[in-house]
Structure 1
Amino acid sequence: MKFILIYDGSFEGLLSAVFYFYEHKLDDASIVKKENSQPSFLYIDKEIITDYGKAKRVWKGLSKKVSVRGREKIYKAFLSEIPTIENAILHFIKRTFSSEVSIENDYSDPIILEIDKVSKKVDREKHRMDAFVRFRLTNDGIYFATIEPDFNVLPLNMEHFKKRYADQKWLIYDLKRKYGIFYNLQKAALIELEISAEVNSTTRALTYFTVDEMHFQKLWGIYFKNSNIPTRKNMRLHIKHIPKRYWKYLPEKKF
């Protein structure tokens, strides 16, 4: 009988499900996020309780057989949120523990190849967020930015912004996933909170942001518009480097 291991959506939850797979010597199992699970009479559903100790043991076991880069691939693939990625990761781990040699670069295996491709897509999205995030100063004295990336890359962005903006308080909020990273001049931490998309509304801007900030945004937009040389405009090249789906982050695109 096939088992469906249902976890809470966290990376530690996924690793806890992997631990359960080995602990109970299962032959056939799929791992599914709770939000994506559906009742079935054909399989045995098992809800997995996240256990940080067990998750750590799985990760420690992987560290003995998989390189740092290989473990990064697993984590980045997880952050893709592709519905079937958990089973690809389980396949990767099963092959790792059953092989005497490294399998992380065995691209003859289509699932290993898939994890490699997905992790690269997530990495590209991470670097685009590094480049395109724009902060605005709130009335509370916090530099604030919103994002809605295709993949859940915010945990990967933490160190970049912590180093780059170490002298100011900031909050980057993922509108799609309803959580953010807050830096208080000492440490950065993931926080869950509800912020409405209306925070980006131009008509409500002064509710959230300082007058000086709004003047600066407008001046920057005017400068950008006037500094363009129409005869040298290459929209195809421009879109290649800054795809349209990222324009909503850029104040110069709003004027």
Structure 2
Amino acid sequence: MPLRPVRRPPSAVSVAPARRAGAPELTAPPRDYTYDGTFEGLLTVIFTVYDWRAAPNSIQPEATAQTGLFAQSAHRETDEALAARVWEGLLKTMDSEARARLYHVFLSEDAEREMLIFRYVDLALRAGRDISENYANADVRRIQRLAQQMFREKHRMEAFVRFEKTTDELFHATIEPDFDVLPLIAAHFTKRYADQRWLIYDSRRHYGLYYDLTRTDVVRFEADKPQKASDLSATVLDEREPLFKLLWQSYFDHVNIPERKNLKLHRRHMPLRYWKYLSEKQPREMRFEPIKNKQAIAGKEVLAGQKQLPPPKQAL
């Protein structure tokens, strides 16, 4: 008996899903939103904006909030579940790279970062598609510019961090970046220095990253005035640390080529604001002297004691 295709009734025919609805209209009176200053708190505020349908007149951290005269103030406690819901929902209108840029903009500590992120998210929701290449929009251009600045600062921190070894086998480094890049460099240092305990401390934001050979955690210090890198005395540093510093400085002095000195280019790649935490830029405890075990022979310099090869024989 031949098989016959089963015909579905009209009611069972699959229908293509409708286009995703955009963001709801914000018809309620505007509000001055405040949050706890965390990225999860900001995502909670963004959810609340559409839940209450009340546009933000401002979004500010509660500790530094300044409310307006005509907008109602509203403080939102961080809700991890709502924040995760918003974070995952952003992938419906943008890819993971564009979403990551929003987090980088938040870490930039720009004065208008909260409203900038909200306007970008609102524009993407109402467009129903990725807007990362819509450079005609000023907010998109600003997001892209801040993300690029964050990337450069992250790259410099990964290159310019200098550790000092303490008496308890802890490698300590102090940084003072323009942006809050510690969350972005954590993975790099955890992978690269997985066999040693280390602490990277941001003296401007008064917190650091601590790796204990198993995991990397955010740590904060109770001291009101954190010590500078130069305040780590010999009672804290390993006794061999001055020798390591001297060897590091000697290495840079010997690989330097005075004839190719270009301070303008040097400062472009290594800005002055990083120099106070770089070992090679600290005052020399021992004056640099060129290698002395050289002797001139027939217009050439060779190392003392090095055996010279005989001159090649001329062909007859």
Offset from partner CA, 1:63-112 (integer Å, 9 cap, x none):
22210110111010111001101101001111121123221221111011
> Shift of residue 226 of structure 1?
5.0
Match of 2:37 among 9, 13, 16: 9
2:246 is aligned with 1:218: yes
2:42 is aligned with 1:18: no
Whole-Å separation in 2 of the counterparts to 1:22 and 1:201: 50
Whole-Å separation in 2 of the counterparts to 1:111 and 1:131: 31
> Shift of residue 115 of structure 1?
0.4
Match of 1:233 among 251, 261, 264: 261
2:139 is aligned with 1:117: no
Gaps of at least 5 residues in structure 1 are none
Q: Percent same amino acid at aligned positions?
A: 40
**1:55 aligned residue:** 83
1:173 partner SS: strand
**2:116 aligned residue:** 88
> Shift of residue 219 of structure 1?
3.1
2:54 partner SS: coil
Determine if contact 1:178/1:194 at 8 Å carries over to the other structure: no
**Larger Rg belongs to:** 2
Determine if contact 2:165/2:171 at 8 Å carries over to the other structure: yes
Match of 1:35 among 47, 63, 76: 63
Match of 1:77 among 105, 110, 113: 105
Highest RCO, 1 vs 2 (Cα 8 Å, sep ≥ 6): 1
TM-score (normalizing by structure 1) = 0.93
Whole-Å separation in 2 of the counterparts to 1:22 and 1:183: 40
Determine if contact 1:77/1:118 at 8 Å carries over to the other structure: yes
Match of 2:227 among 198, 203, 207: 198
Offset from partner CA, 1:99-132 (integer Å, 9 cap, x none):
2322122111101110011011011100100000
Gaps of at least 5 residues in structure 2 are 1-28, 284-316
Offset from partner CA, 1:216-247 (integer Å, 9 cap, x none):
11332244335534333111111111111111
2:175 is aligned with 1:137: no
CA RMSD of aligned residues (A): 1.7
Whole-Å separation in 2 of the counterparts to 1:51 and 1:235: 51
Whole-Å separation in 2 of the counterparts to 1:248 and 1:158: 22
Which amino acid in the other structure matches residue 110 of structure 1?
Answer: A
Whole-Å separation in 2 of the counterparts to 1:12 and 1:101: 23
2:180 partner SS: coil
> Shift of residue 199 of structure 1?
4.0
Whole-Å separation in 2 of the counterparts to 1:95 and 1:39: 25
**2:201 aligned residue:** 173
Determine if contact 1:179/1:194 at 8 Å carries over to the other structure: no
Which shifted more, 236-245 or 226-235?
A: 226-235
Which amino acid in the other structure matches residue 152 of structure 1?
Answer: D
- Count of matched residue pairs: 254
1:198 partner SS: coil
- Structure number with the higher helix fraction is 1
Whole-Å separation in 2 of the counterparts to 1:90 and 1:34: 17
Determine if contact 1:147/1:173 at 8 Å carries over to the other structure: yes
Against the structure 1 CA distance between its residues 28 and 156, is the aligned structure 2 distance closer, same or farther, given a 3 Å change threshold?
closer
1:72 partner SS: helix
Whole-Å separation in 2 of the counterparts to 1:223 and 1:123: 29
**2:213 aligned residue:** 185
Whole-Å separation in 1 of the counterparts to 2:128 and 2:228: 53
